[in-house]
Amino acid sequence: MKSEFELRAMTTEQIAQRLQVSERTVRRMIKDKELLAYKIGKEWRVDEPDLKAYIARLKKKEDWHERQGS
């Protein structure tokens, strides 16, 4: 298991590229507390496990909608 200091922190630009959304969308997700983040200087950072947890929550939400016939 990695220590806190070994976690890979990603910028909003890197997250936007990975999710194929705009940086503005990523900043909104952070502001709305959908995505756990922290600020270093003027730049937001997200640890990779937190991004993976966000994606997992989206998948669960999608599965629920499919089961409901939406």
Residues 6+ apart with CB under 8 A from 50: 35, 36, 37
pTM of the predicted structure, to 2 decimals: 0.76
Query: Is residue 39 in some structural domain?
Result: yes
Query: Is residue 2 in some structural domain?
Result: no
Q: Which residue has the higher pLDDT, 15 or 68?
A: 15
In tens, the pLDDT along 28-61 reads 999 999 999 999 999 999 999 999 999 999 888 7
Q: Which residue has the higher pLDDT, 70 or 11?
A: 11
11: nearest Cα among 55, 56, 41: 41
Token pair belonging to 17: 């590229």
Domain span at residue 54 reads 8-68
Residue with tokens 């909104």: 28
Query: Is residue 3 in some structural domain?
Result: no
Q: What percent of the chain has pLDDT over 70?
A: 77
Q: Is residue 50 a contact partner of residue 43, using CB atoms and an 8 Å limit? A: no
Rounded CA-CA distance 21/64 in Å is 23
| CATH number of the domain encompassing residue 56 | 1.10.1660
